């Protein structure tokens, strides 16, 4: 079967600045793709286009075969998306926020409660379910964002820096969760923590200045130089000079 995520010559221009330049790749079920690049490389913009938030200047993105521009609602049903910074409504409690997302996704009554409870169990949020999100610590807020993305058990997960701001234990917990879900889903995570890529990703893509520079397994990438760190620096810094 075809890949669950297809990105085809995707380009985004802001005025004369090209944030994402002709990027193409595919992600199949069972793959965890690490999306790497320096800040401002175009990682988030690519993910925003895939999630249907930013309209591409050219090219196409498809989720489970549904074009995100032509059939946005159908594509978004198959997608769990954690935006950069994990935004949530601060005045809502964890439970009412997840209930809102569940209802938007079409769950009602017992099924809604079941989905919310399941998402809270996966991200260990039961202890704070009645607290307003604004009173939670950064790590908890991030987990609320993650719970929202996992709630409907989507075949495609796009997570923009899912472990940012978490303590080492929580990072470990999230990585374990992603590893657990990996076989049945196509997952993209963006990160600039390189050891995270070696730990959970089956494949890594490096982009800088909007261009795709490498697409290989973390092990293959690491073999190109003394370490993954060095390879990353060499690839992305050589791009800095025009």
Partner 1 sequence: MAGALTIARRELAGYFATPVAYVFIVIFLVMSGTLTFTLGNFFDRGTADLQPFFGFVPWLFLFLVPALTMRLWAEERRLGTIELLLTLPVTQWQAVLGKFLAAWLFCGIALALTFPLVLTVNYLGRPDNGVIATGYIGCLLVAGAYLSIGAAISALTKNQVVAFVLAVAVCFLFAASGSPVVTDFLSRRIPVMAEIARGISVTERLGDLSRGIVALRDLIFFGTFIGFWLFANTLAVDHRKAD
Judged by the rule CB under 8 A, the positions of this chain that interact with partner 1 are 48, 51-55, 72-74, 76-77, 79, 81, 83-85, 87-92, 96, 100-101, 103-106, 132, 145, 148
What is the rounded distance in angstroms from the CA atom of residue 158 to the CA atom of residue 140? Answer: 19
Q: Which is nearer to partner 1, 137 or 180 (CB)?
A: 137
Of 8 and 74, which CB lies nearer to partner 1 in the complex structure? 74
- DSSP code of residue 133: G
Nearer to partner 1, 51 or 119 (CB): 51
CB of 52 to partner 1, least distance (A): 6
Query: In this structure, are residues 159 and 150 in contact, taking their beta carbons and an 8 Å threshold?
Result: no
d(CA 61, CA 96) in angstroms, rounded, equals: 32
Nearest-approach distance from CB 202 to partner 1, in angstroms: 25
Least Å from the CB of residue 37 to partner 1: 19
CB of 96 to partner 1, least distance (A): 7
DSSP 91-111: TSBHHHHHHHHHHHTT--HHH
In what side-by-side order are the strands of the sheet with 66-67?
17-27, 5-14, 58-63, 66-67
- Taking the least distance from each CB to partner 1, the nearer of 22 and 53 is 53
Integer-rounded Cα Rg, in Å, for the chain is 18
Q: How far is the CB of 120 from partner 1 (least distance, A)?
A: 18
Nearer to partner 1, 85 or 165 (CB): 85
Q: Which residues on adjacent β-strands are paired with residue 61? A: 7
């Amino acid at each position: 079967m075809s890949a669950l995520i297809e990105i085809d010559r995707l380009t985004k221009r802001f005025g004369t600045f090209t944030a994402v330049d002709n990027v193409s790749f595919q992600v199949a079920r069972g793959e965890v793709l690490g999306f790497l690049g320096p800040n401002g490389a175009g990682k988030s913009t690519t993910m925003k286009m895939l999630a249907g938030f930013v309209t591409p200047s050219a090219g196409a993105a498809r989720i489970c075969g549904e074009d995100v521009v032509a059939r946005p609602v159908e594509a978004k049903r198959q997608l769990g998306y954690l935006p950069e910074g994990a935004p949530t409504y601060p005045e809502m409690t964890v439970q009412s926020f997840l209930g809102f997302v569940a209802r938007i996704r079409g769950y009602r009554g017992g099924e809604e409660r079941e989905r919310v409870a399941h998402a809270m169990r996966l991200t260990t949020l039961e202890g704070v379910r009645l607290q307003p999100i604004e009173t939670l610590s950064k790590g908890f807020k991030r987990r609320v964002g993650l719970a929202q993305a996992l709630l409907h058990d989507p075949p495609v997960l796009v997570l923009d820096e899912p472990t940012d701001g978490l303590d080492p234990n929580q990072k470990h917990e999230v990585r374990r969760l992603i590893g657990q879900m990996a076989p049945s889903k196509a997952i993209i995570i963006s990160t600039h923590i390189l050891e995270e890529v070696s730990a959970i990703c089956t494949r890594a893509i490096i982009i800088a200045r909007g261009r795709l520079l490498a697409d290989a397994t973390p092990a293959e990438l690491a073999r190109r130089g003394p370490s993954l760190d060095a390879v990353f620096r060499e690839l992305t810094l050589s791009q800095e000079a025009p």
